[in-house]
Structure 1
Amino acid sequence: MTSENTGTDRAQLSVEDFEQLARSAPEPTALEFLGGRPVTKPGRDGTHGCILMWLLKQCLQQRPGLALYPEQGLKTEQHRKGRARPAGSLAPEGHFAGQGEWSEPEGVLMAVDVTPHAPETDPRYRSEKRDGYAAADIPVHLLIDRDACTVAVHSEPEGGKYRGRMSYPYGATVEIPAPVGITLETEKLKDYTH
């Protein structure tokens, strides 16, 4: 009797094996571990950096005791079996001191992702990473979607999903709920559409 591989029978990599693979990956390769499989995080371009700097300035102006840490590895998903690198993690200043490459999500107020211009990454940003952050009880996920020119705010994690979901076009005033509690004026994001 033979069994046909339908593509759904994937060998699962252990978290420990993944972490070893990530440590040995050549620079500047960044890996994430989503849904039990390693995935390559696309490289960032200048526009990505400009968007992250725009957000950093707004966060620091409104919440000076917080910092937006770029690319900090977080343990996500149920039972912390995922590994994600959000574009930014909003947490109290000094929060990640003494923590390793993959930090526990407790104390992170918001995970931020900025989509690249690479259609194959869409499911990761729009569902896999978002749901991993929710399962790790990160209070807010902010997704800046460069293809759709929208800012999506996901909040109120419960049962591995965010109950609160709002999407705004670039140019709108976006209220980020507690515990973040900031207002984003997104008109500047229109300058970063290409």
Structure 2
Amino acid sequence: MEPREFEEIARCCPDTVRLEFLGGRLGPGKARDGDHSEIVARLQQQSAALGRGLWLYPARGLVVERYRKGRARADGVLAPRKHFAGQGEWADPEGVLMTVEVTSYDDDTDMRDRVEKPLAYAAAGIPVHLLIDREHGTVTVYSGPDGERYRDTHTVRFGEDVVLPEPVGFALPTEEFTKHVR
């Protein structure tokens, strides 16, 4: 399937259906529960409080993967305010500072959130990727994309602060995430 074919299919879906196109495969976007939303909202609040003109855009579609053949909907995308103005549903990742994925409790999470999306974001050259893994109670920071994968990873348990490297550049407290696991 070509990316333009995927975009046409996704455009025809009702608002309640979210699709992604990674690794040449069409798949459903994940279900988001209330705790998932609370984590993303907390990250929005923390990024806005930095006072650096950054915003965490929730559920943002990005053109990703090598040669831009993938389409992923990140749980959060950190970028300068108004960065996506005038762009369509699937935005160019140029200028994005960080993507965020928060795991869900479904069968596709392992492959999609822990493997496919970090590879896709690295291939797109996004400097930092943050994986908040509710199942394992960890936060993993990926950085240093080399066009195929992230060279550096750092994992902490919920409750520990984690430093997000430049160009994000702030310490993220994770204590509150412990409230949002099963």
| TM-score, scaled to structure 1 | 0.91
Other-structure match for 1:185: 173
Other-structure match for 2:94: 106
CA distance in 2, matches of 1:120, 1:133: 18
CA distance in 2, matches of 1:15, 1:133: 16
Other-structure match for 1:116: 104
CA distance in 2, matches of 1:102, 1:111: 14
Other-structure match for 1:7: none
Is the aligned partner of 1:96 residue 2:84? yes
CA distance in 2, matches of 1:108, 1:161: 16
Residue number among 14, 28, 31 corresponding to 2:19 in the alignment = 31
Alignment of 1:8-27 (within 5 A): 13-27=1-15
Residue number among 150, 155, 177 corresponding to 1:167 in the alignment = 155
Other-structure match for 1:41: 29
Aligned residue pairs total 182
3-state SS of 2:108 partner:
helix
Matched-pair contact (CA < 8 Å) for 1:59–1:182? no
How far did 1:138 drift? 0.2
- List runs of 5+ in structure 1 lacking aligned partners: 1-12
CA distance in 2, matches of 1:174, 1:36: 33
How far did 1:63 drift? 4.2
Matched-pair contact (CA < 8 Å) for 2:124–2:147? no
CA distance in 1, matches of 2:177, 2:91: 30
> Residues 122-159 of structure 1, C-alpha deviation per residue, up to 9 Å, x if partnerless?
11101101100000000000000010010000000003
How far did 1:121 drift? 2.3
3-state SS of 1:118 partner:
coil
CA distance in 1, matches of 2:2, 2:176: 42
Matched-pair contact (CA < 8 Å) for 2:62–2:72? yes
Other-structure match for 1:128: 116
Other-structure match for 1:66: 54
CA distance in 1, matches of 2:24, 2:51: 35
1:35–1:63 Cα change, 3 Å: farther
CA distance in 2, matches of 1:71, 1:14: 22
Other-structure match for 1:148: 136
Matched-pair contact (CA < 8 Å) for 1:140–1:153? yes
CA distance in 2, matches of 1:111, 1:117: 20
Between 75-84 and 114-123, the greater mean CA deviation after superposition: 114-123
CA distance in 2, matches of 1:73, 1:98: 14
How far did 1:48 drift? 0.6
